[in-house]
Each structure stands twice: as C-alpha cells, then as structure tokens.
Amino acid sequence: MIRIQGVLVSPGEGGVYGERTIGDYRVWDPYRSKCAALLLLGGEIDLTSSMRVLYLGAANGTTVSHVADYVEVVYAVEFAPRPMQDLLEVCRRRKNIIPIMDDAGRPDHYACMVEEVDLVYQDVAQPDQAGIALKNAIFLRPGGTLVLMLKTRSVDIRQSPQDVLDRTVEVLEAGGLSVREVRWLEPYHRDHAAIICEALK
C-alpha cells in the first residue's frame, strides 16, 4: 500500500467524491472508509494489481474507487437504488469496476457474473452479517481472504460489541473459515471491527 508523508493514498484520477489529492495520488480518508482505517491500523491485507475482488455493500463507491485503483477488477454489489446511481457514476471513471445491483444475501442471483476472487470484502449493515459472508465465501479461491467489516450495532444493539464480535467469529469458524486477525477500528469508526479470514485450502 502506498503512503506519502504518512498519508494513505491510492494511484488514480482524482475528483471522484471531492477527495484531496497529492500529485497523481488520491488521499484515502480512514474516517470515510473502514478499509482505509484497517490498513492504517496495521491490518494484514494487501491489494495488488493482479487481484480480483468481490465487494459487498458498495454503497456510493467511495471505498470501491480506491480499491479499484490498486486491483485488477472489482465486482461491486449494492442493493439500494440511490447509492447505485452514485456507484454507476464512479464506474464511468473506473472501467475495472463491475456494478451489480442485487442483495448480497442472495449470491445465487449474481453467481453467473462473478468469477473466482482473491478477496471478498463485506461492508453490509444487516443483522446476519456472518451468514452473508459465509454465503459469498463460495467465490473465494482456496487460500483467499475474506474481510468482514462487522457493524456490531446492526447485529444486536442489546449485546455488547465484544459479545457480538465473539459470536460472529464463532459462526465464521464453524462455517469453515479460518479467522486470521480481528481488529477494532477505533478511533476512526466506533463499535466496528474488521475480521480477516482465510478460505481453507
């Protein structure tokens, strides 16, 4: 990952959402992107030019655009019509983003469009976040990586964030993923944790 003067950046054309630029690089704000927060906090993931990524919960394409600056292709899944309009604008400037308007909980709907990927990145605010991750793990190559950005308050507001995290890890491991790292995203995002998993070979 590229840093300039301690600032995380991505190598691409600027002006996607009003982000600051440093020369030919776009500043990747950790307060606007949980992926940037994870990378700045030392999360053990990397984005390379040969990677294929399935991004669940693409929203308006802010983080997707930065990921696309680094990788070969991004399959960007978003269900809501309004964010999808913004995502389509991003796709006009990033030809390696393939927008898919569908429910991330129904991967059978878009299986015909997605090839085997190196990384599944999930940022979906639904109660069954672990279940959605496991359903989409079918797209991972053996040894591939799944990153679940866990929004604990979306799972169960009655439980503590730590209890929600512990239970989610149990579900992922019971579903056949190997949890490699868990990292809270404070101070950038409150009650959010990144769970980095590996697909079993």
Asked if residues 110 and 136 have their Cβ atoms less than 8 Å apart, the reply is: no
The average confidence (pLDDT) of the chain is 94
Q: How far is CA 58 from CA 5, 78, 94, 201, in A?
A: 29, 5, 14, 27
Whether residue 71 is predicted with pLDDT greater than 90 in this model: the reply is: yes
Identify the burial level of 78 via C-beta atoms within 10 angstroms of its C-beta, where 0-12 means exposed, 13-18 middle and 19 or more buried: buried
Helix axes 129-136, 161-174, angle to 10 degrees: 30
Closest by CA to 195, choosing from 29, 30, 173, 70, is 173
Digit-coded pLDDT (tens) for 33-59: 999 999 999 988 899 999 999 999 999
Domains of the chain: 30-199 (3.40.50.150)
Annotated binding site: 62-63, 78-79, 103-104, 123-126
Residue 183's pLDDT is 96
Q: How confident is the model at residue 201 (pLDDT cuts 50, 70, 90)?
A: low
Question: Can you give the pLDDT at residue 153?
Answer: 86
With a cut of 80, say whether residue 200 has pLDDT above it.
no
Q: Which residue has the tokens 């269900």?
A: 79
Decide if pLDDT at 188 tops 80.
yes
CA distance 10 to 4: 10
In tens, the pLDDT along 130-162 reads: 999 999 999 999 999 999 999 998 988 888 989
pLDDT above 70 as % of the chain: 100
Query: Residue 156: its pLDDT value, please?
Result: 82
Known binding-site residue numbers for S-adenosyl-L-methionine: 62-63, 78-79, 103-104, 123-126
